[in-house]
Amino acid sequence: MSTIASAATAPPLPAPRDPKLRRMANAIRALAMDAVEQAKSGHPGMPMGMADAATVLFTQFLRFDPEAPDWPDRDRFVLSAGHGSMLLYALLHLTGYPDMTLDELKRFRQLGSRTAGHPERGHASGIETTTGPLGQGLGNSVGMAIAERLLAAEFGDTVVDHRTYVIASDGDLMEGVSHEAASLAGHLGLNKLIVLYDDNSISIDGPTELAFSDDRVLRFRAYGWAAERIDGQDHQAVADALRRAQASDRPSLIACRTIIAFGAPTKAGTAAAHGAPLGAAEIAGARERLGWGYPPFVVPEDVRAEWRAASGRGKTVRRAWEARLQSLPAERRDEFLRRHRSELPHGFDAAIAKLCDDFRRANAKIATRQASGTVLDSLTKLVPGLVGGSADLTPSNNTKAKDQKDVRRSDFSGHYLRYGVREHGMAAAMNGIALHRGLIPYGGTFLTFSDYARPSIRLAAFMGVRVVYVMTHDSIGLGEDGPTHQPIEHLAALRSMPGLYVYRPADAVETAECWALALQRRDAPSLLALTRQALPLLRTDGSLQGTDRNLCARGAYVLAEGPHARQVTLLATGSEVSIAIAAREMLARDNIVAAVVSMPCWELFEAQPQAYRDAVLGTAPRVAVEAAVQFGWERWLGPRGAFIGMTGYGASAPGEALFPHFGITPEKVAEAARSLL
Ligand SMILES: Cc1ncc(C[n+]2csc(CCOP(=O)(O)OP(=O)(O)O)c2C)c(N)n1
């Protein structure tokens, strides 16, 4: 006789303590089952397991208002286990977010619907961040909680006083980025961060014990969190735990023991319910066991009314907040609102122009990382929303401005974050800070370690958020640290990422211009690739460049033109622009006319009209020089081009020795140019 339960023989469900809340949760369960079934794709298990905990959170704790989804002092809710997106869509629908209609639920995972497979940001109001790649949401939530503390310290807790709630899964807690993020959150004592962990012991491969045996509660306690285990399907237990978490002086992890696909007669508690439709028989059995006798996508009026009543609470809270905002002095209020509109302050352009002038006047040979530090010394005073930081490379990245104070556990009045050696956690937190709004995060590491942050950089690009990566030591020019630290393929890899603006300025003036462009672009991340080694100032000629025009804004421009029609065009970025300039002088001695094009940002250049691009690139043969792999340069070289750069990894030696060693010199560039004539 088979011991496997069938839909007919499955034991009845235990009676819930609170039948009303269970019915409200069952609405989520039914919508999740139905939408996944209709799409023939998706993840019903997690929404069904966490429906009770989510119902308690949304009806009794979370402060939100579907009529004003972006109200600045709302609580933030992050679904880090983004595969369970039907949980969020069902919640947004039931609480009355106008974007989330029943039709959208019926179009789950279809082209052009608001209900993407994972809760992608921007598709529908009420979604704070996209979290398909596990662990990212937790990282984002740490950034959001940091942003809340920083803004509260600046504007006061009468206008900034909200919490960040997260639902995370086993997968989230396995991912490395969540370890980094949790460790940082514990260190900073982010007590308004509350994570409901769906402790269902199931992942795709089967029971989590196959691969996951650390004690999560003890681990989070060791990070400095308050952590406890509860029955995640007991509404009272969830509410009590949330109340304790709200009162805690540290971030909280509430491990909610749940049953994946709770209610499903045979698939509950199994990996089969994780990521596939349950099937008609199983759904019918679940409806029966849950006492949900309604057709697909039908939510009875009494349940709908309960949900609406619960979400109606938010309006009163929001209105009270608006009144408090009005009571701020006008100037503070304007500043608060300007910051939330992501606008830069008046005087920004003038400050950049002055920085360029100062660099020109000083005409000093400095590294672009040093120029970046000088830019920050000035901009952090003018742009109070800038929040800097570095993954433990502050003195190398020059990311800390003179007047910036460290953010500390007990003091969030500073604007500089010591992220520790946590590049991925930093990048994920930066996304959260930017998504929160009100602040502009920038963070530093070595360019080669962009790989350690790449999944979060990709999400920044994908979501279109303004974060600035300050990535120094951008080539073999960094020298002695050797090939592990010398980026080779990184520029190509980063340039291949849609939506990311990669800047590689050639001198101090270009560095200031690229910083301006990065901050002016509200809807995309930017990455500044900066040198460790000193570079000569190239933009010395104010009359050629104009003092008030940002030449980097078009991505590439002619830095040096011939006295006559050019015979060759030398293309370069960053530290190699000065090599190209030197090559041009060598060629001039042989009466060969060469133009030098500086290309600090390919993405901006690509966006220029064809006529501009043609004029800059010219019709003469081209030689490109960049201390990196050629990959990608083909598009600029044309049919008769040559590339001078790297073909393999670097070496440990002083930077000045490495450029000749790898043949990246003016002589080689000139030689390549001659060979094309
Ligand atoms: C970084 C990353 N790796 C892999 C996946 C694919 N994936 C989606 S859910 C999941 C694990 C599911 O287990 P769990 O997190 O416990 O979720 P549950 O089964 O409880 O819904 C995996 C590996 C992913 N979304 N992100």
HEC string of 232-278 equals: CCCHHHHHHHHHHHHHCCCCEEEEEECCCCCCCCCCCCCHHHCCCCC
Do 48 and 290 meet the contact criterion of CB atoms below 8 Å apart? no
* pLDDT at site 294: 97
Q: Is 260 in the pocket of ligand 1 (CB under 6 A)?
A: yes
Q: Is 81 in the pocket of ligand 1 (CB under 6 A)?
A: yes
Q: Is 134 in the pocket of ligand 1 (CB under 6 A)?
A: yes
Q: Ligand 1, from 134, 196, 210, 256: best to mutate by most atoms within 8 Å of Cβ?
A: 134
AA letter at 662: F
Q: Is 655 in the pocket of ligand 1 (CB under 6 A)?
A: no
Please, what sign has the CA dihedral across residues 80, 83, 84, 89? positive
Q: Is 200 in the pocket of ligand 1 (CB under 6 A)?
A: yes
Give backbone dihedrals phi and psi of 441, rounded to 5 degrees, phi first.
Answer: -85, 140
The atom number, within ligand 1, closest to the CA of 260 reads 20
What Cα–Cα distance (Å) separates residue 537 from each residue in 357, 578, 626?
A: 12, 9, 18
Q: Is 16 in the pocket of ligand 1 (CB under 6 A)?
A: no
- DSSP for 328-340, please give it: S-HHHHHHHHHHH
Residue whose pair of structure tokens reads 């960094």 in the numeric block:
478
For 270, the token pair is: 């199994």
Side-chain half-sphere exposure of 394, counting CA atoms within 13 A:
14
The atom number, within ligand 1, closest to the CA of 271 reads 19
> What is the phi-psi region of residue 587: left when phi exceeds 0, alpha when psi lies from -120 to 50, beta otherwise?
alpha
User: How far does residue 395's CA lie from ligand 1's centre (Å)?
Assistant: 38
Q: Is 568 in the pocket of ligand 1 (CB under 6 A)?
A: no
Distance CA 37, CA 14 (A): 26
Q: Among residues 395, 456, 466, 394, which one has the least CA distance to residue 423? A: 456
Do 340 and 437 meet the contact criterion of CB atoms below 8 Å apart? yes
Q: Among residues 135, 130, 47, 133, which one has the least CA distance to residue 91? A: 47
Which residue, by CA, sits nearest to atom 13 of ligand 1? 203
Do 80 and 138 meet the contact criterion of CB atoms below 8 Å apart? yes
pLDDT mean for each 10 residues of the chain (677 residues): 53 86 97 96 96 97 96 98 97 97 97 93 91 95 98 97 98 98 98 98 95 97 98 97 98 98 95 94 96 97 96 94 96 96 94 95 97 98 97 98 96 98 98 98 98 98 97 96 96 98 98 98 98 96 60 96 92 98 97 97 98 97 98 94 97 96 98 97
User: Beta 468-472 vs 440-446: how paired, if at all?
Assistant: parallel
Q: Show the CA angle centred on residue 197, arms to residues 192 and 203, nearest 5°.
A: 150
Do 636 and 622 meet the contact criterion of CB atoms below 8 Å apart? yes
The atom number, within ligand 1, closest to the CA of 134 reads 26
Which residues are marked as active site?
Answer: 423
Which residue, by CA, sits nearest to atom 9 of ligand 1? 83
User: How far does residue 206's CA lie from ligand 1's centre (Å)?
Assistant: 11
* pLDDT at site 1: 34
